[in-house]
Structure 1
Amino acid sequence: IRNNFLHQASTLMVKNHDLIVIEDLKIKNMSKSAKGTIENPGKNVKAKAGLNRSVLNEAWRKFFSYLEYKLKLKGGILIKVDPKHTSQTCIQCGHISKDNRKEQEIFKCVKCGYDAHADVNAAQNILKRAGLARMARQANLNRGRQQEPAEAYNNSTIVV
């Protein structure tokens, strides 16, 4: 049932979009155990185990691989961007702070006062990074040097 759903969802997305941008999530890191050691036991182990189970149940890696191969067949592009600070960066002024996102759904920049739904602000940051990565990649291709999108993003300058 899960595979069928993932295939249907990825097919629908690929049919409707030539470019898809995702966060390059490190699922293995996200689902590490919180048990700790005998000398230094973990905290909230049951809650973390439940979160790990939910993350792994969603099969994000499988979904991303379906998107990738289907886009390749179609001639589309999948761009993976570094998720670092995407939910803490103000899309308006570029200020990065944990205080910008004190609540799960609300983003409010402590520097310029911009406020938005936190996921919308993060998605705009992801798209902005992808655009810069794509432009840097294209510029490098034009110069005869190929780079992966994440590497191109890391080597480019963000102008805010």
Structure 2
Amino acid sequence: MAFVPFDYLQPGWPMASTWIVPQMKDAPDMHYHEVHKAHVGKGNVTETPRRYSVSLDVHEFAPSELEVKTEGRKVVVKGTHLEAEDKYGREFKRKYKLPRSCELESIESHINPEGVLMIETKKRDRSNSTNVPIIRETRTQGRIIEHF
């Protein structure tokens, strides 16, 4: 019996069975183009003390096919191909819940040359602190207010 190698990552080929590659027993039964389609539109969220940002790979979509809007405290990103459906799919929709510290008025979005959509917003400064005076009372002189 001869072993015939095949590239199981090419579209149309079935995934290798678990008796050939036991590590794949828990792998989803998808073809390569379906796995690739799952990554288009997937986002990475980055949060720092001053900014909140989401980056999405949308290289399959033209800027005119994308829509970014807010719904309450959520940012909704929608991409729809205007032409016929291709092997990567026709549309996607992602929702990201913004933390309460984000300023909704400062949301910006832009696409870089590699086709990555960046959505960024500023966070409110949490250091809105003020000094509270400590009042020291003495019995002989009355009240003395001192700032420590």
Query: TM-score surpassing 0.5?
Result: no
Structure richer in helix, relative to its length: 1
Bigger radius of gyration, 1 or 2?
A: 2
Report the TM-score, using the length of structure 2 for normalisation: 0.22
- RCO higher in structure (CA 8 A, sep ≥6): 1
Structure richer in strand, relative to its length: 2
Report the TM-score, using the length of structure 1 for normalisation: 0.21
